[in-house]
Amino acid sequence: MKNDDFSYYLTSFLKKYLPGEKGVSENTILSYRDTFILFLNFLKDSKNISAENITLEIITKDTIVDFLDWIENQRQCSITTRNIRLAAIHSFFRYLQYQNPENLQEWQRILSIPVKKTEKKTINYLNLEGIKLLLEMPDQSLKSGQRNLAILSLMYDTAARVQEIIDLTPSSIRFDKPYTVKLIGKGKKARIVPLMEPTANILRKYMEANGLLKDYANEYPLFFNSRKEKLTRAGVNYILKKYSKMARDKAAALIPDQISCHSLRHSKAMHLLQAGVNLVYIRDILGHSSVQVTEVYARADSRQKREAIEKAYTDVSPEEKPQWQDNDDLLIWLKKFDQYINLNYVK
């Protein structure tokens, strides 16, 4: 199996281990697959090694480092992209440690390759006025406008990831009070998120107009295109870009120049935090693995920081006129002290 050991283990990794044992999402598997497609292209173009001739023996730490440099320098990819590709490679070689321990030392050398530090970007989010303006943009007299309003409202109200919205079916929505939606997040982990009544009403109107409240439609895509196919990430992103441009034309200060579907998720998290909702509850709504991940919103919330600082400043701030200015004895002493300093300085 020496000549085809790489293809054997890679196929097993992508088709069995990731979906079966790790239970990772389809999108993650596709991202990992794309990484190894790039790796094969790199070996062919830069090392003159065709796919059928690749063996585990020729893959070393130096080869992987050259591949990562190729991604940055030849393909002009960002450090973030480079780190994503490295994460896929690390996952594969962690798997190989147990499946092919004969080369354990080399696998561990590959696993020692560090991720590169990147500049931390500020969280991009809209304030409440910006969200309200954005949701006013879809034309509700059109079926497409009703759908798009439902998408944007649901994405904001539940702080859902775009893939979670795309994967929804009518059976995911519960219209019995309290209104809820069942989201399937990373690692196929399900969570129940509450729906506010205005969002539930928008969603019900859209579903009624499209026959999605019927029992036979339970497993249809909740949001679909003109061909009745579920929307893609690009499709949802196009919808957001369309209406954000319209909103920006009306009030540029309320809509950031750079906006993505994740901006709505960030916006909801920030608004919950500013409303005083405990970080633990925000973590559960967002589907984060730990509250430490959610703390990024607390660190980024400049309004809360400012209010906390202002409150502290009010508590400790001195009176406008310092008390010592009204102390005649102290003023006399200071004047004498000044004379004493001058006399000693002259000596």
Structure tokens at 173: 């929505």
Choose the catalytic residue: 147, 161, 266, 271: 161
Token look-up 């409202």 returns: 153
Choose the catalytic residue: 109, 174, 186, 204: 186
Nearest to 246 by CA among 259, 230, 233: 259
Catalytic (active site) residue 186: yes
CA atoms within 13 A of residue 328's CA, in its CB half-sphere: 0
Helix axes 291-300, 261-274, angle to 10 degrees: 80
Residue 259: burial class (beta carbons within 10 Å; 0-12, 13-18, 19+): buried
Contact present, 103 and 56 (Cβ < 8 Å):
yes
The DSSP 8-state label assigned to residue 77 in this structure reads -
Helix, strand or coil, per DSSP, at residue 224: strand
Catalytic (active site) residue 262: yes
C-alpha distances out from residue 17 to 29, 33, 57, 94, 267, Å: 10, 13, 22, 12, 36
Q: Which residues contact 46 (CB under 8 A, 6 or more apart)?
A: 66, 70
Catalytic (active site) residue 90: no
What pairs with residue 180 in β-bridges? Answer: 174, 194
Contact present, 187 and 24 (Cβ < 8 Å):
yes
Element (H, E) at 192: strand 190-194
Choose the catalytic residue: 82, 265, 268, 283: 265
- Tell how many helices (H) and how many strands (E) occur in the chain: 15, 3
Ordered DSSP codes for 134-184: HHT-S-TTSHHHHHHHHHHHHHHHHT--HHHHHT--GGGEE-SSSPEEEEE
Query: Catalytic residue numbers?
Result: 161, 186, 262, 265, 288, 297
